[in-house]
Amino acid sequence: MNDHTLRSFLQSGDPAENVEDRRLEALQASLMQQIALTEQEPSSSRPVFLPRRFLVLSRGFAFGVLLCGAGVLAGRLVALPLMAQKVVQVEEPAPTVLALASPWGEWIGE
């Protein structure tokens, strides 16, 4: 049996030979109904995605804040025992001094 014969043999008994137009029309109508249904879905149920750049920036910012907090805490932990043993004398400056030492000191002083 050559290829041409096999082809004509298979095509003579095509399992999809009798696909009716009526069936296709029904399928089309059902499909259009489903499309309409997908459009009627409430927008609140759809997930809202933030831009990727925004997510990366906000994560970076949060990481930076955490790092600063951790640095202050570590500094305190190291300084406290040294202060207790009088190895170092740290005098807490008065708030006004702190304010004057800041870049806005001159402006505040006025």
Binding site for another protein (CB under 8 A): 1-3, 5-7, 9-17, 19, 23-24, 27-28, 30-32, 34-35, 38-39
d(CA 64, CA 104): 25
- CA 17 distance to own-chain centroid: 51
Least distance to another protein, CB of residue 13, Å: 3
Q: Which is nearer to another protein, 30 or 102 (CB)?
A: 30
Structure tokens given for 27: 């399928």
Torsion 85-90-95-99 (CA) sign: negative
Q: Which is nearer to another protein, 18 or 85 (CB)?
A: 18
Least distance to another protein, CB of residue 51, Å: 17
